[in-house]
């Protein structure tokens, strides 16, 4: 590999840089970073005028489905989907079969990820908080942390028992790991398939009230304060939660959160089609909630954009709304939605977008920041922020096609990614 990236705009929040420059990459390393590097010999030169060079994007909320649900996705197809979407790293969730509650599952995922695309996409397993994600007994957190788990969550289900949550926070903080909560009060959401409100009433579908999410986050913030530990809210969806996290941050607590592209783009009006690709958990909420997500992203309350990439096979979603599983594929539309909904509408700058897609997830998971400088391994995401394209789910690299954004015209796409000596061009 001998590539010269010419005239790109380098945005690197870790070093505070935002400037136009050339980058010469040899065998996966940044050989030279300067203005006007001249191409000589057999160098492949790529003109990146108008395009962005950023530290490799990291999606900290992805379901790779393997082991156990390979008909939905595998580590290989999930990593390919990530690379096509512009990500050089993902953190994968533990609701696999078996769950990631044992170091052997972490080893299995690491081994599979190393050979998938020759390690182009780094995969960081997030382990379960409780054994089998059943919410009853704590998983062996110390063993899981030393095997390489970067965080703990029972994602898909909340850690409902306050005593277990308290212990999880205490133990996880001993290993400097966050506990990530799927915030949902179960009795309040029993049987719910969409947001509770005007639309659920007129559609006659059982609702999940926003208070169910707010209550759980409010409780957890108190527990995080009491135990002086690190807490992260997964896929936040309500205005109430944004306010709770804003207040917790104001008080100096170690509380962070993420939002998905679908929660800052769509409202529960989308469910009126009865399209099962609008069924997710937490559900699509109201316009006020969407506005709160944008406000939270803008003022820094919301640290991270994560996709909650949740592939399901065609047959699984091809059923009545109430029977369908929750979740949509997210990796390949995330950048387009973020640029279309946030950058184009002046909510976030490209610099802030790079922070939420790259710098912040690494900070929250205590992973080293990427260094874009001479001598360092090239871990880069290349973006074209003005490229217009139409979402064609049949072209997804993910094994699944369940997306509510089919046919959407978006602006902004990944041009390619570099990582671990590998390159992927879109
Ligand atoms: Zn999830």
Q: Which residues surround ligand 1, an ion (CB under 5 A)?
A: 155, 308
Q: Would the pLDDT of 9 be above 90?
A: yes
Q: CB under 8 Å to 232, separation ≥6 — which residues?
A: 151, 178, 179, 180, 181, 255, 256, 257, 258, 364
Ligand 1 centroid vs 346 CA: distance in angstroms? 28
8 Å CB contact between 426 and 415: yes
Task: Indicate the pLDDT class of residue 362, thresholds 50, 70 and 90.
Answer: very high
Ligand 1 centroid vs 213 CA: distance in angstroms? 15
Ligand 1 centroid vs 306 CA: distance in angstroms? 10
Task: Tell me which DSSP letter residue 281 carries.
Answer: S
Query: Residues 12, 214, 308, 384: which is the catalytic one?
Result: 308
Where would I find the beta strands (DSSP E) of 329-408? 380-390
What was the pLDDT predicted at 39?
A: 81
**Residue found under tokens 């001998």:** 2
CA dist 139 and 169 (Å) reads: 12
Please count the other Cβ atoms lying within 10 Å of the Cβ belonging to residue 376: 12
Chain segment 176-222, per-residue pLDDT in tens: 999 999 999 999 999 999 999 999 999 999 999 999 999 999 999 99
Ligand 1 centroid vs 317 CA: distance in angstroms? 17
Average pLDDT over residues 302-326: 96
CA dist 263 and 118 (Å) reads: 33
What was the pLDDT predicted at 42?
A: 82
Ligand 1 centroid vs 116 CA: distance in angstroms? 22
Supply the DSSP string of 295-350, one letter for each residue: HHHHHTSS-EE---B----HHHHSS-TTTSPS----TTTHHHHHIIIIITTTSS-H
Ligand 1 centroid vs 418 CA: distance in angstroms? 26
Ligand 1 centroid vs 62 CA: distance in angstroms? 7
Structure-derived torsion over alpha carbons of residues 269, 270, 271, 274, reported in degrees to the nearest 10: 130
Q: Would the pLDDT of 50 be above 90?
A: yes
Ligand 1 centroid vs 32 CA: distance in angstroms? 39
Chain segment 87-109, per-residue pLDDT in tens: 999 999 999 999 999 999 999 99
Q: Would the pLDDT of 345 be above 90?
A: yes
Q: Would the pLDDT of 63 be above 90?
A: yes
What was the pLDDT predicted at 146?
A: 98
Element (H, E) at 104: helix 103-115
Average pLDDT over residues 346-375: 98
Q: Considering the entire predicted model, what is its pTM? A: 0.97
Please count the other Cβ atoms lying within 10 Å of the Cβ belonging to residue 176: 11
8 Å CB contact between 90 and 392: no
**Residue found under tokens 């789910």:** 393
Is 161 an annotated catalytic residue? no
Mean pLDDT over all residues of the chain? 97
Please count the other Cβ atoms lying within 10 Å of the Cβ belonging to residue 342: 25
Q: Would the pLDDT of 40 be above 90?
A: no
8 Å CB contact between 412 and 373: no
Ligand 1 centroid vs 232 CA: distance in angstroms? 13
The share of the chain scoring above pLDDT 70, in percent, equals 100
Chain segment 122-173, per-residue pLDDT in tens: 999 999 999 999 999 999 999 999 999 999 999 999 999 999 999 999 999 9
Q: Residue 264 corresponds to which tokens in the numbers above?
A: 């800052």
Element (H, E) at 114: helix 103-115
Ligand 1 centroid vs 21 CA: distance in angstroms? 38
Q: Would the pLDDT of 41 be above 90?
A: no
Q: CB under 8 Å to 6, separation ≥6 — which residues?
A: 22, 37, 39, 45, 46, 47, 48, 49
Average pLDDT over residues 41-57: 94
Task: Indicate the pLDDT class of residue 373, thresholds 50, 70 and 90.
Answer: very high
What was the pLDDT predicted at 110?
A: 98
Average pLDDT over residues 308-333: 96
What was the pLDDT predicted at 159?
A: 98
């Amino acid at each position: 590999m001998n590539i010269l990236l010419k005239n790109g705009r380098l945005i690197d929040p870790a070093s505070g840089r935002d400037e136009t420059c050339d980058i010469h990459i040899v065998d996966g390393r940044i050989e030279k970073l300067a203005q006007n590097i001249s191409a000589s010999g057999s160098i492949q030169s790529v003109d990146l005028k108008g395009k962005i060079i950023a530290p490799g994007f990291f999606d900290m909320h992805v379901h790779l489905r393997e082991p156990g649900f390979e008909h939905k996705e595998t580590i290989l197809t999930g990593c390919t989907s990530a690379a096509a979407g512009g990500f050089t790293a993902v953190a994968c969730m533990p609701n696999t079969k078996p769950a990631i509650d044992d170091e052997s599952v972490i080893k299995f995922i690491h081994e599979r990820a190393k050979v998938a695309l020759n390690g182009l996409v780094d995969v960081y397993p997030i382990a379960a908080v409780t054994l089998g994600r059943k919410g009853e007994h704590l998983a062996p957190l110390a063993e899981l942390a030393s095997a390489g788990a970067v965080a703990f969550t029972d994602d898909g289900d909340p850690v409902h028992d306050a005593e277990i949550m308290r212990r999880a926070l205490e133990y996880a903080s001993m290993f400097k790991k966050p506990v990530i909560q799927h915030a949902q009060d179960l009795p309040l959401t029993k049987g719910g398939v969409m947001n509770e409100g005007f639309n659920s009433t007129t559609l006659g579908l059982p609702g999940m009230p926003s208070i169910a999410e707010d209550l759980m986050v409010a409780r957890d913030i108190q527990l995080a304060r009491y135990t002086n530990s690190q807490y992260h809210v997964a896929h936040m969806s309500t205005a109430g939660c944004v306010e709770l996290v804003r207040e917790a941050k104001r008080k100096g607590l170690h509380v962070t959160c993420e939002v998905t592209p679908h929660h800052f783009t769509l409202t529960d009006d989308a469910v009126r089609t009865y399209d099962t690709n609008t069924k997710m958990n937490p559900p699509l909420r109201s316009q006020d909630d969407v506005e709160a997500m944008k406000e939270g992203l803008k003022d820094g309350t919301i640290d991270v954009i994560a996709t909650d990439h949740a592939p399901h096979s065609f047959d699984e979603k091809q059923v009545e709304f109430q029977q369908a599983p929750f979740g949509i594929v997210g990796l390949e539309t995330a950048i387009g939605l973020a640029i279309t909904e946030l950058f184009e509408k002046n909510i976030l700058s490209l610099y802030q977008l790079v922070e939420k897609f790259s710098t912040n997830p690494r900070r929250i998971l205590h992973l080293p920041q990427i260094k874009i400088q001479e001598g360092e391994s090239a871990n880069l995401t290349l973006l074209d922020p003005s490229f217009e394209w139409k979402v064609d789910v049949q072209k997804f690299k993910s094994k699944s096609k369940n997306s509510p954004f089919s046919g959407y015209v978006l602006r902004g796409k990944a041009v390619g990614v570099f990582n671990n000596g590998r390159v992927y061009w879109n």
